[in-house]
Chain A
């Protein structure tokens, strides 16, 4: 079973700054199977990135995803007030078929 470890647990930044969130897998993951989600308090998660680097429909271009193998990154180039939330990475493993989430990174206003 692949374990996803996100870091840092909490990231404190100011609007306008750049945010870099990390997702590390315990073994190599296909980039096709790596996605990122944003969750705000009291809301359902929202898809941001799929296939490690493809933005979902309607997601601003300040969000970008990168990485391969065991190391993946979500970057928010210039933080807007609405970006402060919890972010999760997620992967699909085919043997056995299952989906795994990282424990999340909370992005908070400094």
Chain B
């Protein structure tokens, strides 16, 4: 099937690390993405990883890719209240179509 799976909710305390997980479907996906959506807004690209990489770090964000298990994760270090949002993972197989997960709602508690 084409389902990209994510857990629906995650709650963390301010200053802790957040880890958002995603299981994707297509082992031939070339790029995998993480987007952030704040209430009433569009999707903002956070980071992406090419399929031949295992890890990518960008300031507070770390993306880990396990191709064998088709598992993608996003770690946010020192989570802040401004990080509260919905986070979507997405995969791109190289033609035209992007497949999005259902989104994980991250709530950061002060």
B partners with A: no
